[in-house]
Amino acid sequence: MDSNFTVFGGVTYSQLGSAASITLPAGSYNPAPVVTNGVCDVSSTLNWGDGVHTQPCGGYYPIVHITGDATVTGTGQGILLIDGDLNLGGNLQWYGVMIVQGAMKAAGGGKVGANVWGIALIRGGLDETKINGNINFQYSKCGLTQALNGTSAVAVSRSRAWSQLY
């Protein structure tokens, strides 16, 4: 990963953005799991998975790409790409990876506040003058691993044993 958060191993930020399952313009979003007839509805652009794993959307890990500044409340999991500034609001619950090209501002509300489990990479830094309320950032290897495994187009195959035939 480079210091500008634009290259991650062999993948660029642009490549991640083009692989997004959900692409949205700048704006305010309140994602929540969407279940239709008992099945996770992945066609909804406001269904960003269910990190609590209490609904059928617990195994859905989208890559969400917002092409400008965004204000996000609600819940989701996977990889969140923000091309501009990110305002965390209300009772946001995020599980996985956040990559913000601008600055991050936060105003957690209520008893729960805003929580991020996984990792947040913020190119523009935290705007500390704009952070208030109940905000928690918790590095979580489990949240990070699940999000990366869930959004991966490739998976590790079962290894095969080798033995001498002659």
Inter-residue contact 94 to 80 (CB < 8 Å): yes
Least confident of 24-28, 101-105, 151-155: 151-155
What are the pLDDT digits (tens) for 2-44?
566 777 777 888 988 999 999 999 999 999 999 999 999 999 9
Assess if residue 117 is contained within a domain: yes
Assess if residue 60 is contained within a domain: yes
What does 94-150 look like in DSSP terms, one character per residue? EEEEEEESS-EEEEE-TTT-EEEEEEEEETT-EEEEEEEESEEEEE-HHHHHHHHHH
Assess if residue 163 is contained within a domain: no
pLDDT at 150: 80
Inter-residue contact 144 to 118 (CB < 8 Å): yes
Assess if residue 164 is contained within a domain: no
User: How many domains are contained in the chain?
Assistant: 1
Q: How does residue 129 score in pLDDT terms, banded at 50, 70 and 90? A: low
**pLDDT at 114 > cutoff 70:** yes
pLDDT at 147: 82
Range of the domain at 120: 7-151
Assess if residue 160 is contained within a domain: no
pLDDT at 1: 62
Assess if residue 37 is contained within a domain: yes
**pLDDT at 155 > cutoff 50:** no
Distance CA 34, CA 83 (A): 25
Assess if residue 129 is contained within a domain: yes
Inter-residue contact 51 to 75 (CB < 8 Å): yes
Residues 146-165, mean pLDDT to the nearest whole number? 61
Assess if residue 101 is contained within a domain: yes
Query: Which helix or strand (DSSP H or E) is residue 18 part of?
Result: helix 13-18
* % of the chain at pLDDT higher than 90: 41
pLDDT at 154: 45
What are the pLDDT digits (tens) for 55-95?
899 999 999 999 999 999 999 999 999 999 998 877 888 99
pLDDT at 163: 53
The rounded Cα 116 to chain-centroid distance in angstroms is 9
pLDDT at 112: 64
How many other CB atoms are found less than 10 A from the CB of residue 89?
Answer: 20
Residues 141-148, mean pLDDT to the nearest whole number? 81
